[in-house]
Structure 1
């Protein structure tokens, strides 16, 4: 029974492999560096009463609409550690701000769950991604885990198993019901060290978390949070303080100071209790908005004066302060100095806010606005942390958010760049002041985050994150910044005038090579290093689609900062962006490569994408650079800020005319021909370093984060020094050539070579051109009658040369400039040659040794070309095909995707001749077929368009033989199984069955 066991083992192995193949191939997203992440942002598991306000809020860190396909939200019971609720998020999307809310109907969620669904704890909520079998009743698992929170409502509760599997580095979080007398939630925030933390807060379903860091608030009694100064006594003025929630405040004095005289003009003791949100409002006693503490009676209104003023908080009581006197130097807790028209006393500034300027409020330009603290709560005595915003008395301040943000950068042309690296804050302050004077938009330093400066090329590149309070405000500020730096602007730094402009790169916004016929150049040009799309793999074999990627390459071949660059993926059906990646904050590796791709790509991409993200085509990948333009999903295709682009398809029937028109005008779509290899392949940059040029790419094997495998491609040259004839265009048998196109390595010199023209008559030369100059960035060199190269030593111009009127002609490239007038065709010093004819002929005669000959239909006046379609393959018998002219572009060659099977039956009475020399007969029959087709259609068909497959009988014989061999092996196996002596116990147990089987 050994063979039977072997068969059984084989079946088990097949089943095991099938199951393994069906497993989720996506690694734990917590171990991946993704461009954006879906997170559990806020949970309210225990609301007062009947739990009618519970929710789980998810947030996509892109801050934009994101599809949630493949995600699962699982709720675990800490008693038994099993899932009690599983939500499949397939087909769901976040809102335009990146939020997705799941909860009771009272919180207006995107996905409603029954009240009292989320258990109070000790329990857990976990977010998964992948193809795992997530279902109710399953045991807790970390497979596919993206994010998790283990929570409880009692300090004594324990959930050791949930913690060890879901959050091994974080204990169960306590939702402290004593935090607020009303409801509270657990919110995710950035801690003091920029790490994610959870804390108890006021619920904010579907909105930004408040993220007032309680630990920092507890370190201070109260701080100045918001100042609303008014110009009329009829308006509501107030000062809002902030501290720990529901906390008694005492022994604090509010002091108002005249900024010009430094004299105190009002003092009042601060006492009372902060609100549930930690706020305490000070204002007029008689006002529509209730205040926690009124201004002193008999004070003039408005209390906050016009001009330069200061507000300070001191420890102590008001009896320690004397009106009209100077400030004490001790006991200061917080201070804020502001002005509406004139500067305050410098000594006052140095006392209250050392090293900081006064905050400038525009009274008349922005309407009713407050001065709001937006760096709560570790920053004190700093006017740079305030912004102008809408008044929010008794509520959290209306501050700029990173959810509405855009990275911007500009260049300062400085000679001593290293010295300026230490002046980032001074640079930002000067920029903001100049920008606000230009736009009058009320912008301040607090709108900018994460500033950094680096030395690069022509000066210092300053990069910062511009935040805003809304999408509209962000668009307005970006437009203001773009207008501000439309032309170089002089900024003043401590009396030194420094020029600022958008970029430190000379070529960053210069147009690349236009989509016209590229020409050779006389001298090699110095190529400025730039970032380009290097390789794209949008379509994987089968249905897995998990090795897709886009590779970028910095031609300087060194580590390169991607600040300001964007990668946008476009859908060819609607010409809208379906994926937008902000590359700011990333950089290439040390060799200049940067990889964006799926989880299964190896080496690992710097930015990971979910499987099946990059569409197969007809679509496009575009690389942009901009300090001001905001690229987003669903935007229409644009050329603004375009650096490079590739428009491609995996199906020739698919078109993307609008993408072509905008991104690569005048060019053809690239076809990722899957016949190039039985394995996966990609579109690789091989032919040039020119941006936005489709002919720079060709199909090769995959090489992520490595040199493109151009040596195996059909469009590379066999050696660095080779010059090949790539395309010959003819009008008719007597007219001049349309053009001749040569191909070589970009930048390679043509000097020392000659282009020679031969006729069939004795194989003699009738014209020659000495070559000079270099190949352009496309690797092509095009001769035309009107744009032929000019040279003093040139005896004959190109427009003087005509094709031979009859018989065969040839053009050849030789590695010599010494071409005698009576030269005959020879193989000495020959580099490449092309033999052709415009009429029927029996053979090339004296030109046969130059290579195979090609027939060109020259009867009509329309131009036709002989295009090289089998470059660099010396074994290819035919290397040219008749095609439409494509000067300076990728040759138009026959494609397998347009192939049609022609099944022909030859009525030959005697087939014995086929067995004698069937290859010669096949070639003869192929030529006969082509001649017949050409006589009827005059369509320029040649042998390159025909791939004979007359060996059907050989294939059939192989198949039949294989089947017979398989049947023989099966019969032998069955024979040995039946004749193998079974062991004794089997004979005893199975004798009746064996007898019946033998019978």
Structure 2
């Protein structure tokens, strides 16, 4: 599709280039049709030249067990003159530098990792590690799945890539391509070993037209603007803006402007009219040298994106140049997708091979594993809302999201919908694809003048005061409203329905669909002086309006929540069992708490730490109360919720309604109520303020009523959930004085005399009942044998 223009626009693209060149994993072909005889891994040095590979190691991981199955030392090798290096099957063409037997590269769920550390550090059968990681690809097939742990460890924030064997006829490979600006991704394409990847923008099926090519220069838009085919899009209008007004005119290239595609007719956009608030289908915004467009222009046409910054190149006024859509991102309205490239009307774009390094300009970096709490939600949450700010400008509004990993995570396929209760329809749909959370898991969108600056800026007074709703969705196939009639619930991650005073009944339909059974929240302006927000303060469950409190605004910071009620007294960890501690299949994993009967547990959080994962694997806010017998069970036993207790780690009972005890945060002495460490890991022991751990077999029971956070309070015993613990008793104890010394010629001289080496055994005081009795019998038998030997020698 081509649309002719008689309007003027001149642009200059400055392609970003990373600092130092780096080595990346460029392409993988792990699954061939029939016999796997053309597998390969392609590395590429972004200098595009020959580069030595000394110090690099390539490791292949099996997702079934997450251990290495192949380690390749690249010492002594180098890339070819164009920067490529191939590892692959013996039957491949071109011939790889390192040959592999057929069917070596596993199909998935698996990972291939490039390290900049000598190969001596790595070996087959080793556990997955991110230490020394330079680049990594985690992949799987639609039939397998199961690569979540590898993705968490090696590419946190990015899901495993799915190599779809049905995508192309014949063979296909996983190819690294630039999404937009400096953001990399992968796509399925035809294999191209030793050659530049086939990185082309998505073609079909497309539901909206996209701008694919522009010629800019000579003081005007020259020739054609090329669009993709989208027959279902209906009537289209191409509009050119300058300084926020629509024009058919010549204008100074040092100003700012935009090109946008709308549904509609030309009469809907009169020349000289102000910027339309209708959302365009696609748009391109640029800024002249030393200039920048208005916030209203960018946030209406390309929300959250940056315009092109033009340079002082001479061809701004003379010959002009061509821009092509080259980034393979699936989202629209992103100027970062365009690069300078030859014009190819009606043909695939001829895009250059980028030289941007995907990770820290090629330097080695380390990932720490994320902390994902499995309490029913491991996806994005609405963390804070400020919909009504003081003054008529309403320029302090914002929506804050948070990811439970507490780290940088991609927002690909995430949408925010703003609903009006007056018609129960979204008045704004915002795609967050291409964005990331901060290093602490936060993402902020809000008014242009908000401080700190939001990642995605909105015009002032965009978020309505209520009765309305904010809903968060994961929707890979476009706007949630396009796939479902009425108020969409498919893909819903979280939602908040809110109101003004006396307006709660007006939001009944929104509440019924998004937060069923709950009343809308009131951002009460009389609670606090100045401004206030709705802050998540009491849990991390989605759609739970009871988790929110009116609190001071804290954008991009930990929420400032009301002081919680006093901590429950006398509640301790009583017993812990893990299915990793026994070979018997009947062993169940559970944690038993003990305390005064009917004690309310609100505010207590039970956290489980795994030594192998270096973080929290469970952080469960407790509900309900201790039963009439003084017990509370969490775990996989009758009448209790499921849980997982690792083989080596810790169980922690802490107190806080939200912030201190959630995943990834440090525990302080003021919040730490009780702890049991069953590990000798020094880092874990230090972080939990204890000096030593306990050995395990087959359960651990508290046998001291009052000493919390004390390893000596615990002993090994059989599991007794909902019952009194099996602890040592003085009834079954024996005191034995065993005297060891040199043999005397007169036995009577020793009787009643002093022992040279006295040993006092008091059994069962620190041992479980069964083990204590067994050891006692062994010692008695040993003593009897010693006495027999003694009398035999006397004879």
> TM-score, normalization: structure 1?
0.25
Larger helix fraction of residues: 1
Structure number with bigger Rg: 1
Bigger RCO of structures 1 and 2 (CA < 8 A, at least 6 apart): 2
